[in-house]
């Protein structure tokens, strides 16, 4: 009998695990996703103006259409069935649930209205149903984005791009309207460390010099003449190339209505304001033996919106060991317990690019087949898909299968403005209502 595997989460790490398992043959894979829509961060996290990056879903679509794979959207572990029930139904369960929670800043005032974590902010402009009602306070001339990585660059870029520049994106309609109407004049990118330590990739950093209505501002004195010789060769080369781009951005001063200002060696100390964000207090820093050390020089920066983009954490799953210090599921090389595994950010933390998850999928597939293959081949397999369908039907749980997702996808594409790839549904109820119109009985 085939090896039955449930993969919880249908983002890149889940699809890479499914692809790796399919290569071994004789397997039945069920992708279980709490949203009706698949593809995880490719849909809800990749910047809406980076459509080329989203083309990876074509490979995922081939996996989803494989006869050995079934999709169960709109099914949530902890709401519709428990982890114990799921593990009782499948030979193996692979958790691919990502790291959807923002890391806290850990400074006074971060609870004030006007501090919007990057997970929520990016989810809002990407039309993620969890964040459709975020409504960030954009009636301000200055926003501060805290972080020296690509997510920080994405947020800053989307905030200052013109509607014409975003016309070929799949930004949520409500978000685009709010950003376009905002009186923003400056976005400050604030990072504790320097440009050598920043985690920008070349493509994203170069884009900052191509903005139609925004110039880049940064202090050339913060750019070292060269990356430290002691860095590993690969990191040193990347740092040198980033420094070269930053020098070019610093030299290309232009008169434009908006600007993005890079402020390196700046540590947030406190969010200022009584009832809402009115500013950010930050401290000048320096590096000593690789450590960030405050100099005692404090500065107050008036602003109405602060977006921390300093990393993400996984959420606890009842019954699954959790490493609170690292904000991820407790595991050893992706193995949590016999029959229970994890891949992607919930395994190793939020690092790497989309393709970085492939190695996790390969390792999980190899471990599952080594540990469970002989037992299942001997006739000890669990109910798998038929068991899940019986349980969900008995509880009146409505799931969205892959053809139903394709109907949602088709409707979004049909509703797109000229030049845009789609107009996203931002409400689960609206997605289900569409399916009701097409098929009153649903799944």
- Which parts are annotated binding residues? 13, 33, 41, 77, 148-151, 192-193, 204, 345, 352-354
Burial 135-145 (b: 16+ CB within 10 A, else e): ebbbebebbbb
Give the Cα separation of 200 and 309 in Å (integer).
Answer: 13
Q: Where are the beta strands (DSSP E) in 111-256?
A: 142-146, 186-190, 214-218
Cα(202)–Cα(238) distance, integer angstroms? 8
Q: Where are the beta strands (DSSP E) in 219-263?
A: 258-263
- At 339 the three-state DSSP class reads coil
Residues pairing with 298 in the sheet? 283
The number of helix segments (H) and strand segments (E) in the chain equals 14, 18
Summarize the annotated binding site for FAD as residue ranges.
Answer: 13, 33, 41, 77, 345, 352-354
- Integer distance in angstroms from the first to the last C-alpha of the chain? 26
- Give helix 12-23 / helix 57-64 axis angle, nearest 10°: 50
Binding residues for NADP(+), by number, are: 148-151, 192-193, 204, 352
How many CA atoms lie within 13 Å of 10's alpha carbon, on the beta-carbon side? 30
CA atoms within 13 A on the CB side of 82: 6
């Amino acid at each position: 009998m085939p090896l039955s595997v449930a993969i919880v989460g249908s983002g890149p790490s889940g699809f890479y695990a499914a692809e790796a398992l399919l290569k071994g043959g004789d397997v039945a894979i069920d992708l279980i996703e709490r949203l009706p829509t698949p593809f995880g961060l490719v849909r809800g996290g990749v910047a809406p103006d980076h459509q080329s990056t989203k083309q990876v879903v074509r490979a995922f679509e081939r996996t989803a259409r494989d006869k050995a794979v079934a999709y169960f959207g709109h099914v949530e572990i902890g709401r519709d069935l428990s982890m114990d029930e799921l593990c009782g139904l499948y030979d193996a369960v692979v958790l691919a649930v990502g790291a959807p929670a923002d890391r806290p800043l850990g400074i006074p005032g971060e609870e004030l209205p006007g501090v919007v974590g990057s997970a929520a902010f990016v989810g809002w402009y990407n039309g993620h149903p969890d964040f459709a009602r975020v409504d960030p306070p954009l009636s301000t001339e200055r926003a501060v984005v805290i972080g020296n990585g690509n997510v920080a660059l994405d947020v800053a870029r989307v905030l200052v791009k013109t509607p014409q520049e975003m016309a070929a994106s799949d930004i949520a309609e409500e978000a685009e309207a709010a950003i376009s109407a905002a009186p923003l004049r400056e976005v400050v990118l604030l990072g504790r460390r320097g440009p050598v330590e920043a985690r920008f990739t070349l493509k994203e950093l170069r884009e900052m010099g191509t903005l139609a209505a925004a110039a880049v501002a940064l202090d050339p004195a913060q750019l070292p003449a060269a990356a430290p010789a002691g860095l590993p060769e690969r990191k040193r080369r990347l740092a040198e190339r980033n420094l070269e781009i930053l020098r070019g951005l610093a030299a290309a001063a232009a008169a434009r209505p908006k600007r993005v200002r890079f402020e390196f060696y700046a540590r947030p100390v406190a969010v200022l304001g009584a009832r809402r964000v009115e500013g950010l207090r930050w401290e000048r820093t320096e590096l000593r033996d690789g450590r960030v050390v405050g100099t005692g020089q404090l500065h107050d920066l008036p602003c109405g919106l602060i977006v921390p983009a300093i990393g993400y954490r996984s959420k606890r799953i009842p019954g699954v060991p959790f490493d609170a210090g690292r904000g991820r599921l407790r595991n050893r090389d992706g193995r949590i317990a016999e029959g229970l595994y994890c891949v992607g950010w919930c395994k190793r933390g939020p690092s790497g690019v989309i393709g970085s998850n492939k190695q996790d999928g390969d390792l999980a597939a190899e471990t599952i087949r080594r540990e469970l293959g002989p037992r299942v081949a001997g006739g000890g397999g669990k109910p798998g898909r038929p068991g899940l369908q019986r349980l969900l039907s008995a509880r009146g749980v409505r799931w969205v299968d892959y053809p139903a997702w394709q109907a949602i996808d088709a409707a979004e594409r049909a509703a797109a403005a000229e030049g845009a790839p789609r107009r996203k549904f931002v409400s689960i109820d609206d997605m289900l209502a569409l399916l009701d119109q097409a098929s009153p009985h649903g799944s």
